[in-house]
């Protein structure tokens, strides 16, 4: 599986935008980029995913570099509730029933201060 690299930790002020980077220089052409986050004392939750184009949803935006070797998860206005570990995960496209396993790395621990 292609590997991702994320900073161990980041800090942000409440109500400020947060840009969480992820490097994936060995990404293949069919790998999708997924982001999950894990709030304290909870299971992980899905945030967003994309392939080539930038993506937006109610939680965040995903900006993907033109060469796809890096991506950035953008939280437009951080709240205290966004303090969590954020995981950037690559998932290959599959048109067969080959199963589903997420390869979590260490992720980025985001601290949000008031």
Partner 1 sequence: KAGVTQTPRYLIKTRGQQVTLSCSPISGHRSVSWYQQTPGQGLQFLFEYFSETQRNKGNFPGRFSGRQFSNSRSEMNVSTLELGDSALYLCASSLVGTSGQETQYFGPGTRLLVL
Helix (H, G, I), strand (E, B) or coil at 76: coil
Cβ contact 30:24 at 8 Å: no
Q: Which of 68, 72, 105, 109 binds partner 1 (CB under 8 A)?
A: 105
Decide whether 90 or 112 has the Cβ nearer to partner 1: 90
- Other beta carbons within 10 angstroms of residue 89's beta carbon come to 21
- The C-alpha atoms of residue 72 and residue 4 are separated, in whole angstroms, by 12
Decide whether 99 or 114 has the Cβ nearer to partner 1: 99
Q: Which of 13, 46, 80, 113 binds partner 1 (CB under 8 A)?
A: 46
* Binding status of residue 102 toward partner 1 by CB under 8 A: yes
Residue at token pair 């999950």: 36
> Least Å distance between CB 13 and partner 1?
27
> Least Å distance between CB 61 and partner 1?
17
Residue-by-residue DSSP string for 20-77: EEEE-TT--TTEEEEEEEE-TTS--EEEEEESSS-EE-SS-EEEE-TTSSEEEEEESS
Lay out the site mask for partner 1 across 6-45 (x = CB under 8 A, - = otherwise).
--------------------------x-x-x-x---xxxx
Residues near partner 1, by CB under 8 A: 32, 34, 36, 38, 42-46, 49, 87, 91-107
């Amino acid at each position: 599986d292609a590997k991702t690299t994320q900073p161990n930790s980041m800090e942000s002020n409440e109500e400020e935008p947060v840009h969480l980077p992820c490097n994936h220089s060995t990404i293949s052409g069919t790998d999708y980029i997924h982001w999950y986050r894990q709030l304290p004392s909870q299971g992980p939750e899905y945030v967003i995913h994309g392939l080539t184009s930038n993506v937006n949803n109610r939680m965040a935006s995903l900006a993907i570099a033109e060469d796809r070797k890096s991506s950035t998860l953008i939280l437009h206005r951080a709240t205290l509730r966004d303090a969590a570990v954020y995981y950037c995960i690559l998932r290959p496209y599959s048109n067969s029933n080959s199963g589903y396993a997420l390869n979590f790395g260490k992720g980025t621990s985001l601290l949000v201060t008031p």
